[in-house]
Structure 1
């Protein structure tokens, strides 16, 4: 039964801050991460938002794992304890007692639980130290994204997620009934962020996007967090790639400052971003992976193996985890990509063997845009709400989008992108 803790004047101390309190009495609050009873001596591992601490005492009544508790005790240096300190506990107060055991043992998930099971019970498994660290890293990525772009003069926008047409055409749209009209969940904020370039010149958005694709791969989700950027008055796609390079550098700088403990816990390394990320045209990239590695790329793009091999080449020969692939053909790009003969001013950014960004310069002239829609067999009348703005002096512009989960997964060495999202949505999963 839960009982209120006695009133105390002791401030709360977090587990990461024990060292300055060596020899002092402190008050910790958190969850019962693990517990043991060894012949009258009780061990409680307490987990709070900053880490874990070992608490040791005698004749203590320990609640079930995942109960929320308050521990009052004395801090003592202990070489074998997490963080080098433990708590000699005098009191353990239960703030909210778990009414049943957790469906999995959180401290043992990594080696004792089927990964699919961790997703089934994500409402509690997300409390795990490594799971939490992953989401902390992602939060810092998003914070750095916002902070840097605002510093570069960008304005955050908020586009609708219920739309009348897809931004990229195709059938990968979730359809819904909107008061008797056909509507869709937005697959991208692309069209709206282009419109808003006419207002703010430089814009960004952090929001979910939805793709109704029945894939079952380690790199795709049906709902993911898209980090979108669009900027006006550019000379070419080179300006867009320069912005992304500076942005990635700022993200890595913040991760070193604010998430190094999480990278250490996960055994991952924060990459250096070169001042000028190498750039290679798509056709040259295809030739390179065939000549160097004997891999013939089929289709109109780089396949996953081609991406991996090209990244391997740049890691080995140029010492970088990043490479831009440029000049994609029209057939591999959406209707709004700026044409250059049979090619476009579109690019992808590869990072450690996988595409994390798609971007480029966009069409900004009204007549050219209508012609492109026709070439892509899209009825201009269906896109009128978007195309109207191009009658009113849109500047040369371009942008890109980063999938937050995919970037997080590659940074941390997570094999499946689903584990880089708190509550993933794929074609089989609607819960929790």
Structure 2
């Protein structure tokens, strides 16, 4: 029997729930056609669902002729359901195959995609992104995004275990939090507003109420960068905690990285075809001061001066690899809320977490006194009146606090060895792409 509507039919098993010991058991599987081969009186098909692949063998005499014939004409990516009997088979990749007795074709392919669903690599990433839902059926990307989901789950579990409160902060804001050069302006009723560059000011305020908070949400940066590591919309893992400083935040990040690596390692063990390059992590992530690295760069012949940014090309010259922190950055270029070092007012209590030359996280101890914060704003030419909604909170006992943001996409790049940030993003947004 061949039908086209779901009706009351429902899946009985996912691909990974079936095995050769179920010989003779009737099952219903649903998914997308991966491959089809026809050889006269026998048709072979592979069906892919969210958990893996199922082999289907329609042989004359074993299944209805109309089903065997229909299967032989199906195109890759067609959405179908098959009800049939499990048959153990040493030739099948999973040790079993399904002999169909019923077929439902929910949607047949009308347009052939520009690449095969079994393709391991496709040279032109723009070609893939134009048909992203199809691209994401490829196994190599399925592994990346399944891992991404598990890493997020493990990080949330860490925060919950550590008694953090998950928060949600506004993404439409009235003022810049990280400086005005990389803002997306929007029209908000009858006034100008902006997409949030970070939840910074709100998460600081919320330490007054909850002490330990975290948020996993989008941030927006209007940086006109065309690289394999920049996005206009990214997911940031933000944490903020009261009664600590930046050293404590670095310790928390170290714990998060270790948990994340374990999650990816466990996934790779269960899925040996996931060809990840998983980094190693030492017992303690090394910490280098900004001063130390500038000195190393100068000795290596790099043209850099104290106060300059530490560009990736210069970091490569001194051979830093794996995870490491760069701490105690110059205060001047840092955002207005970053606290200065009492030992040297030109230095900030701040850090970046690096993986090779890739920045994964940035954090700092924050200013907790209103007069200091207002003075810093004025020194940066900011209008303190526009930030009164934030400054006013500092009249009511803001605790010492510190925090950071971790870029999820860049973290997944580091954990899996993925080179292009678009391959760890469901629907990338950058300077050239606003669709699909």
Cα distance in 2 between the residues matched to 1:184 and 1:253: 38
2:286 matches 1:275: no
> In the alignment, is the contact (CA less than 8 A) between 1:351 and 1:410 conserved in 2?
yes
> In the alignment, is the contact (CA less than 8 A) between 1:338 and 1:361 conserved in 2?
yes
Other structure's SS at 1:339 match? coil
The equivalent residue for 2:262 is: 253
Cα distance in 1 between the residues matched to 2:333 and 2:24: 64
Deviation, 1:184, is 0.5
Cα distance in 2 between the residues matched to 1:89 and 1:306: 61
Mapping for residues 310-329 of structure 1, pairs under 5 Å: 312-313=319-320, 315=321, 321-329=322-330
> In the alignment, is the contact (CA less than 8 A) between 1:245 and 1:275 conserved in 2?
no
Cα distance in 2 between the residues matched to 1:270 and 1:389: 43
Deviation, 1:4, is 4.5
2:312 matches 1:300: no
Cα distance in 2 between the residues matched to 1:352 and 1:87: 46
The equivalent residue for 1:141 is: 151
1:42-87 deviation per Cα after TM superposition (whole angstroms, max 9, x unaligned): 12111011111322222512222222222323232435x43x3241
The equivalent residue for 1:318 is: none
The equivalent residue for 2:87 is: 75
Distance 1:290 1:106, change over 3 A: farther
Distance 1:41 1:101, change over 3 A: farther
Other structure's SS at 1:177 match? strand
> In the alignment, is the contact (CA less than 8 A) between 2:20 and 2:95 conserved in 1?
no
2:278 matches 1:265: no
Distance 1:260 1:230, change over 3 A: farther
2:21 matches 1:17: no
For normalisation by structure 2, the TM-score amounts to 0.89
> In the alignment, is the contact (CA less than 8 A) between 2:278 and 2:417 conserved in 1?
no
Cα distance in 2 between the residues matched to 1:6 and 1:216: 48
> In the alignment, is the contact (CA less than 8 A) between 1:209 and 1:226 conserved in 2?
yes
Unpaired segments of 5 or more residues in structure 1? 316-320
Cα distance in 1 between the residues matched to 2:203 and 2:388: 16
Q: Rg bigger for which structure?
A: 2
Other structure's SS at 1:287 match? helix
The equivalent residue for 1:244 is: 253
> In the alignment, is the contact (CA less than 8 A) between 1:297 and 1:303 conserved in 2?
no
> In the alignment, is the contact (CA less than 8 A) between 1:70 and 1:93 conserved in 2?
yes
Unpaired segments of 5 or more residues in structure 2? 61-67
1:180-218 deviation per Cα after TM superposition (whole angstroms, max 9, x unaligned): 111001011011100101110000001101111111111
Deviation, 1:88, is 4.1
Deviation, 1:331, is 2.8
The equivalent residue for 2:235 is: 225
Distance 1:399 1:44, change over 3 A: same
Number of equivalences: 419
> In the alignment, is the contact (CA less than 8 A) between 1:57 and 1:89 conserved in 2?
yes
Distance 1:178 1:164, change over 3 A: same
Mapping for residues 115-194 of structure 1, pairs under 5 Å: 115-194=125-204
1:132-156 deviation per Cα after TM superposition (whole angstroms, max 9, x unaligned): 2211111112111111011101100
1:370-419 deviation per Cα after TM superposition (whole angstroms, max 9, x unaligned): 11111211111111111111121111111111111111122222211011
Distance 1:243 1:423, change over 3 A: same
Report the aligned-residue RMSD. Answer: 2.3
Deviation, 1:277, is 1.2
Other structure's SS at 1:32 match? strand
Deviation, 1:241, is 0.5
Distance 1:251 1:413, change over 3 A: closer
Instruction: Report which stretch shifted further, 139-148 or 24-33.
Output: 24-33
> In the alignment, is the contact (CA less than 8 A) between 1:22 and 1:77 conserved in 2?
no
1:340-360 deviation per Cα after TM superposition (whole angstroms, max 9, x unaligned): 210101100012431100111
2:369 matches 1:365: yes
Cα distance in 2 between the residues matched to 1:282 and 1:92: 67
For normalisation by structure 1, the TM-score amounts to 0.90
